């Protein structure tokens, strides 16, 4: 008799070792149809695998997070099969799952997107055939014989040792560790996305391959929603809007280092004014540390050993220096000067620090991946007893900040990575401190094993934008190592020195990246308080220009960001251009408005309100800005 245990603690008995499919079927036929794989002792396996007596089994259904990746892995195999069916001279290399889908690198004739319909038709034929995915394990010698006509597979096999696994579906065979869905029929919705060039093993001396990207879902409605999101994301691309709205640019003279224009700086400063206001409420102080520091500091912090390849360095007066990739070590020096009493803790110090990190040129992507950026770092020094409350305080601050922009978020607890510093005891205490605070906060979270910083575990905060995309921005890292490395201390109630515990945390993260996220989140249509230009004044003729410029000065004296469109274009054209620039408030000034001292006000929803007095105008606009409303349309009447 073979006994297995399910996640809910229930047990099932079988006369002989069951497969995962047998276990699923023992629950119900409907449940079995939704299963794609299983997990035993943390390892994902095919449903066809036999399960040993006493095993704890978790069946993976289409509703589980792992299921989509498994199915997309299978879809990559089906796409490769379809392409090799249609292009007999094609030679396969590798086909991994990536964010949003999968790709396969193939040595074949140049492929254009016009070929996609025929390939998708062949994919659909293979899907309808419900071909089983069958795992086989063979020796290295057998594998070399089996793939003797596939040069890239032979190269891969040559680097493997021991038993080699492969998968078959129909007459197609591929090297693979698995697992896969039971049959091709579970791949309900497949779409080829694009094709690009790629070199074998990323070496330009090797053959150039065709990298064919695709995506797949269990449901056609999910695919349709995904494609809609992609189209919406194209419209919101911050690089395009950044140029259109005159916010920022990039130049060959400084690759990966953004230039912010006057309008971009107006939005930048509004963002940082808000940051400072919220941090002041929580009793943070603001500090500033140098951009370049001596190598000895980076060796002491551990960055030289663990992060050297990403740091820009220089030699000054015979000494090695590094431009800071992080603000932390400078913050340690500032705290060390204080040696405060326990009565002065927690000590919360924030810094808008400019950092530089070397990124490969191919990885650069607008404001999302740059080489020079600002981090809204903060370092909180505390007693061990204060850990719980301080982490809760940071979570509540982040909730307040993200809520202002209408951004929801979810949380992940990332644990110790393989490459780390500090003792086992320090890591255990730090991880438990984060876990207990998360439990008290009450918002659900997931465990992200092995993804912590090299100096401590962390809470990652993933925000969700207006079209449902998620971005990792905020992070809270509990560090018991750096205070020790820098010999930091505070004077306790016993009048003795004690080691503080420290939190590293960011809310925006990279401010440049958060800026880009906001551009796409709002599609350039920012709320009034954040808009680069809050009010544009449109004089109806040149005779009104002097009066309009005087109005501009008066509104600017009230703290508003105001432009005047002095071009000799028609009023209709000026209004249209202001709408394209997403200016929240458009004020038309004619002779009647000058004589009566009133405004004609147009907002982005197309509503026009005539005869608005200056007092009423300022009352509405200032109230909207003070409250930092997330809507982009103030109401004047």
Q: What is the 3-state secondary structure (H, E, C) of 378-444?
A: EEEEECHHHHHHHHHHHHHHHHHHHHHCCCEEEEEEECCCCCCCCCHHHHHHHHHHHHHHHHHHCCC
In whole angstroms, what separates CA 543 from the centre of its chain?
Answer: 51
Closest to 198 in 3D by CA, of 211, 180, 184:
211
Going from the C-alpha of 12 to that of each of 53, 140, 168, 478, the distances in angstroms are 10, 38, 31, 43
State both tokens at 584. 């929240």
Are 178 and 88 contacting, i.e. CB atoms less than 8 angstroms apart?
no
Q: Give 34: exposed, middle or buried? Use CB within 10 Å, 0-12, 13-18, 19+.
A: middle
Closest to 325 in 3D by CA, of 346, 311, 337, 339:
311
Which residues lie across from 87 on neighbouring strands? none
Are 36 and 70 contacting, i.e. CB atoms less than 8 angstroms apart?
yes
Q: What is the pTM of this model?
A: 0.81
What does the angle CA 279 – CA 436 – CA 458 come to, to the nearest 5 degrees? 60
Check residue 102 and give its pLDDT.
96
Burial 481-511 (b: 16+ CB within 10 A, else e): bbbbbbebbbeeeeeeebebbbbbbbbbbbb
Check residue 172 and give its pLDDT.
96
Question: What are φ and ψ of residue 608, in 5° steps?
Answer: -120, 130
Q: Give 121: exposed, middle or buried? Use CB within 10 Å, 0-12, 13-18, 19+.
A: exposed
Check residue 456 and give its pLDDT.
83
Are 257 and 372 contacting, i.e. CB atoms less than 8 angstroms apart?
yes
Question: How many Cβ atoms are within 10 Å of 233's Cβ, its own excluded?
Answer: 14
**Which residues are part of the catalytic machinery?**
328, 357, 375, 377, 379, 458, 504
Closest to 357 in 3D by CA, of 561, 513, 562:
513
State both tokens at 498. 């004690």
Are 80 and 174 contacting, i.e. CB atoms less than 8 angstroms apart?
yes
Check residue 574 and give its pLDDT.
94
State both tokens at 356. 């530089």
Check residue 429 and give its pLDDT.
82
Question: How many Cβ atoms are within 10 Å of 82's Cβ, its own excluded?
Answer: 23
| Helix/strand/coil percentages in the chain, nearest 5 | 40, 30, 30
In whole angstroms, what separates CA 506 from the centre of its chain?
Answer: 14
Q: Which helix (H) or strand (E) holds 122?
A: helix 116-128
Q: Give 239: exposed, middle or buried? Use CB within 10 Å, 0-12, 13-18, 19+.
A: middle
Going from the C-alpha of 347 to that of each of 137, 279, 400, the distances in angstroms are 59, 13, 21
Question: How many Cβ atoms are within 10 Å of 178's Cβ, its own excluded?
Answer: 18
Question: How many Cβ atoms are within 10 Å of 237's Cβ, its own excluded?
Answer: 16
DSSP state of 577: H
Check residue 101 and give its pLDDT.
94
CA gap 221, 215 in Å, rounded: 13
At how many degrees (to 10) do helices 424-441 and 387-404 cross?
A: 50
DSSP alpha helix (H) spans, 184-323 = 220-235, 238-244, 262-281, 295-301, 303-307
Are 92 and 106 contacting, i.e. CB atoms less than 8 angstroms apart?
yes
Burial 273-302 (b: 16+ CB within 10 A, else e): ebbeebbeeeebeebebeeebebebbebbb
Check residue 469 and give its pLDDT.
87
**What is the chain's length?**
637
Check residue 422 and give its pLDDT.
78
Check residue 306 and give its pLDDT.
80
Cis, peptide link before residue 179, omega less than 30° from 0: yes
Q: Which residue stretches of the chain have pLDDT < 70?
A: none
State both tokens at 628. 């930092």
Which residues lie across from 460 on neighbouring strands? 412, 475
Place of tokens 């449109």: 538
CA gap 47, 628 in Å, rounded: 53
Going from the C-alpha of 602 to that of each of 378, 560, 571, 580, the distances in angstroms are 41, 17, 13, 13
Check residue 344 and give its pLDDT.
95
**Interacting residues of 621 by C-beta distance below 8 A, sequence separation 6+:** 528, 534, 535, 560, 585, 634
Check residue 421 and give its pLDDT.
76
Check residue 191 and give its pLDDT.
96
Check residue 155 and give its pLDDT.
93
């Amino acid at each position: 008799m073979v006994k297995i245990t399910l996640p809910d603690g229930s047990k099932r008995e079988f006369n002989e070792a069951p497969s995962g499919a047998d276990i699923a079927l023992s629950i119900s036929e409907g449940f079995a149809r939704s299963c794609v794989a299983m997990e035993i002792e943390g390892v994902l396996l095919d449903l066809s695998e036999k399960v040993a007596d006493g095993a704890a089994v978790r069946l993976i259904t289409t509703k589980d997070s792992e299921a989509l990746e498994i199915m997309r892995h299978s879809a990559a195999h089906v796409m490769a099969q379809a392409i090799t069916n249609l292009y007999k001279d094609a030679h396969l290399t590798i086909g991994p799952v990536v964010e949003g889908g999968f790709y396969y690198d193939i040595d074949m004739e140049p492929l254009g997107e016009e070929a996609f319909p025929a390939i998708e038709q062949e994919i659909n034929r293979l899907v309808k055939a419900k071909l089983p995915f069958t795992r086989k394990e063979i020796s290295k010698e057998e594998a070399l014989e089996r793939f003797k006509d596939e040069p890239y597979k032979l190269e891969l096999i040559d680097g493997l040792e021991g038993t080699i696994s492969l998968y078959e579906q129909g007459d197609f065979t591929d090297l693979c560790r698995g697992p896969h869905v039971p049959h091709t029929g579970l791949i309900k919705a497949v779409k080829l996305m694009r094709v690009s060039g790629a070199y074998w093993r990323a070496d330009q001396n090797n053959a150039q391959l065709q990298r064919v990207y695709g995506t797949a879902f269990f449901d056609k409605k999910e695919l349709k929603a995904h494609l809609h999101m992609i189209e919406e994301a194209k419209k919101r691309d911050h690089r395009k809007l950044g140029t259109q709205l005159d916010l920022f640019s990039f130049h060959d003279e400084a690759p990966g280092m953004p230039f912010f224009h006057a309008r971009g700086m107006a939005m930048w400063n509004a963002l940082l004014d808000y940051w400072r206001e919220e941090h002041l409420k929580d009793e943070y102080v603001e500090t500033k540390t140098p951009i370049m520091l001596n190598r000895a500091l980076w060796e002491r912090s551990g960055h030289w050993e663990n992060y050297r390849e990403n740091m820009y360095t220089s030699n000054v007066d015979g000494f090695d220096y590094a431009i800071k990739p992080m603000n932390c070590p400078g913050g340690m020096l500032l705290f060390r000067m204080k040696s405060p009493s326990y009565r002065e803790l927690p000590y919360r110090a924030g810094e808008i620090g400019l950092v530089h990190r070397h990124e490969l040129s191919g990885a650069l992507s607008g404001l999302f991946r740059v080489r020079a950026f600002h981090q809204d770092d903060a370092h909180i020094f505390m007693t061990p007893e204060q850990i719980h409350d301080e982490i809760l305080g940071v979570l509540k601050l982040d909730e307040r900040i993200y809520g202002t922009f209408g951004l929801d978020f979810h949380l992940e607890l990332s644990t110790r990575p393989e490459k780390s510093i500090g003792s086992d005891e320090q890591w255990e205490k730090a991880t438990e401190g984060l876990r207990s605070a998360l439990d008290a906060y009450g918002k659900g979270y997931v465990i992200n094993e092995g993804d912590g910083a090299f100096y401590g575990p962390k809470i990652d905060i993933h925000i969700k934008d207006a079209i449902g995309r998620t971005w990792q921005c905020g992070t809270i890292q509990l560090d018991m190592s750096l205070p020790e490395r820098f010999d930091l201390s505070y004077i306790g109630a016993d009048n003795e020195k004690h080691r503080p515990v420290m939190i590293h945390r960011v809310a925006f993260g990279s401010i440049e990246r958060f800026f880009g996220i906001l551009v796409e989140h709002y599609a350039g249509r920012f709320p009034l308080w954040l808009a680069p230009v809050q009010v544009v004044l449109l004089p109806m003729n040149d005779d009104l220009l002097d009066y309009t410029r005087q109005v501009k000065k008066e509104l600017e004296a009230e703290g508003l960001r105001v432009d005047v469109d002095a071009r000799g274009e028609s009023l209709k054209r000026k209004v249209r251009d202001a709408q394209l620039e997403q200016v929240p408030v458009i004020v038309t000034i004619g002779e009647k408005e000058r004589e009566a001292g009133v405004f004609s006000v147009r907002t982005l929803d197309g509503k026009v309100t005539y005869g608005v007095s200056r007092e009423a105008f300022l009352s509405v606009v200032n109230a909207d800005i003070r409250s930092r409303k997330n809507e982009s349309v103030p109401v004047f009447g």
